[in-house]
Structures are given as structure tokens and as C-alpha cells.
Amino acid sequence: MKTVCHTCMHHCSLESGQRGLCRARKNENGKIICENYGRITSLALDAVEKKPLKMFYPGSRVLSVGSYGCNLRCAFCQNHEISMSDFETAETVYISPKALAEKALACKNAGNIGVAFTYNEPLIGWEYIRDTGTLVKKAGMKNILVTNATASLDTLEEILPLVDAMNIDLKGFRESYYRELGGDLETVKEFIVHAAAGCHVELTTLIVPGKNDTMPEMEEEAEWIASVEAAVGKKIPLHVTRFFPRYHMTDRKATDVENVYGLAKTAQKYLEYVFVGNC
């Protein structure tokens, strides 16, 4: 008997024993479980600016943690070794929510402000964010989420009360481009609107030559961001970042630096805080 997973917009209908497109959620005897719960592939104490977050506790550090799996299929993924892995192929270590919260607290003297769920797509394992995030908050520390925002609003509501800041990938502003990546632009836009009402949000757009690198598209994107809750939208920071050939996308050169700066200048017509990255 099939069971539907409602974590993201794919709504995978899974036979018993079958995994979803994300490779991390599974139908186990008629119940959708989070198979990557606590299965950690990456753990590092990073500068908060690497998330990237420019306007949330700048100068601090955050204990960054990732698992495996993703519900998109970006040809340029810089973390494809883990995002495209599954339970059998990923090299993982189990870290319980309690153990991770304790690690975060132990790093406080090194400038750590909390835990960042990042590297792969964390929301495919939202239960681990919920359970760990609860303990991190109880310890008086912060929770950060780095996400592609292709999750359902029900999933967002499960963790939003625990999250202090997010960096959200806004891949571009064309539905056709999102379909190419296996996503949905309207889902991401709706997610951003709700997230911005509940925590600090910064956005990142990776500029890929020939895909999302035109001035008209950036103009539409920045104008829309500025319209998100008038009091908030214009103040949402946008990171305009340079693409480098990665993974399956080695058929083009890195983004022209002048174009990145030009697109950032276009965004500045609508937004107060625009940052350039990877240049």
C-alpha cells in the first residue's frame, strides 16, 4: 500500500520500503520515516558569514552540520557527494540531538552562537531540526537553517518557531529554470514570505551563465523581494554570487565578474542590502 510524503512539493507516493526523490525519507510499513535522522556527514565550526549571513551576529561562528540527500537536482551542486547520496552510500556518523546540542554549547568559548543545519538540504530531515533545535534553544543558543525552500508550509511551521535565521537559495526567477532543477518557484516564493514573517532571512542567488544572468530577471526578482511585507522586504539582504563550474555543469566558464556586479547594482534599485559573493 502506497503512502504519500508531504514534506515537500513532490508529494512522493511510496511503496513500502521505497525512498522518496530526496533519498532520505522512506515508507516503512506504511509510515513515512526520516531515514537520515542524526546521520551526519559533515560537521564544522564555520564563520557565520559562510552560510552566508551578513547581518546576523557578524563576526561570530556557528557549528554547522549536514546529513545526506536533497529534493532538487542542481547540475552545479557543490556538495553533490552528500546531497546525491543515500543511506547505503553516504559515510555517516550518528549524533543524537542531545549530543549535538552539547557540542554546540562546548564550542561557545570559541565564539559559537549555536547550530546551522546546512550542506545538504536540511528540511528533508526536519524532525532532526525540530528535536535538536529545541535543545539548542533551551541552552540559550541560536538555530540557523540554510535551505532551498522547496518544503511545504506545514513542514516550515514545524520548525519555524525554533529557527532564528535562514539563508534561502532563490535559484532564479523563472519557473522554467526551477523545473529544470526539479523544483517549483511558487513554492519557494510562498516559503520566503512565511519565513520572513517569523525569523531573520537572507537570500542567495547563484548567477549561472545562460540560465539566470539577465538584468530583466534580476529586476523582477529584486522588485518581488522588496514587496515581501513592505516593512521587511526592502531590508531582506540578497547575496548575488558568482558561479564556478561544478558537478555536471562544466560546460561553461565562471560567471563574468562585471555581470555579477551589474546584477547586484540592478538589485540595489529595490533592496537596501545587496552583497556580492565569490568574486
Asked whether the predicted pLDDT for residue 229 surpasses 90, the reply is: no
Q: Is residue 9 part of a domain?
A: no
Between CA 231 and CA 226 the distance in angstroms is: 9
Between CA 172 and CA 134 the distance in angstroms is: 32
What are 60-110's pLDDT values in tens digits? 999 999 999 999 999 999 999 999 999 999 999 999 999 999 999 999 999
**Hey, CA dihedral for 84, 88, 89, 90, is it positive or negative?**
positive
Q: Is residue 133 part of a domain?
A: yes
Q: Is residue 207 part of a domain?
A: yes
Q: Is residue 57 part of a domain?
A: yes
What are 9-55's pLDDT values in tens digits? 999 999 999 999 999 999 999 999 999 999 999 999 999 999 999 99
Residue with cell 543524537: 96
Q: Is residue 8 part of a domain?
A: no
For the domain that residue 101 is a member of, what is the CATH number?
3.20.20.70
pLDDT number for residue 231: 61
Asked whether the predicted pLDDT for residue 165 surpasses 90, the reply is: yes
Beta bridge partners of 94: 39
Task: Provide the whole-model pTM.
Answer: 0.96
What are 237-249's pLDDT values in tens digits? 999 999 999 999 9
Q: Is residue 167 part of a domain?
A: yes
Residue with cell 552560510: 51
CA distances from 186 to 42, 53, 247 (A): 30, 24, 26
Q: What domain range is 47 assigned to? A: 37-277
Q: Is residue 200 part of a domain?
A: yes
Tally the domains of the chain: 1
Annotate the chain with DSSP letters as a single string: --EE--SBTT--EE-TT-B-TTSSEEEETTEEEETTTTEESEEEEEEGGGTT-SSSSTT-EEEEEE-S--S---TT-TTHHHHT--TTTS--EE--HHHHHHHHHHTGGGTEEEEEE-SS-GGGGHHHHHHHHHHHHHTT-EEEEEE---B-HHHHHHHGGG-SEEEEE---S-HHHHHHHT--HHHHHHHHHHHHTTSEEEEEEEE-TTTS--HHHHHHHHHHHHTSTHHHHTTS-EEEEE---BTTB-SSPPPPHHHHHHHHHHHTTT-S-EEEE--
Amino acid in position 206: L
Q: Is residue 30 part of a domain?
A: no
What are 143-163's pLDDT values in tens digits? 999 999 999 999 999 999 999
pLDDT number for residue 230: 59
Between CA 206 and CA 209 the distance in angstroms is: 10
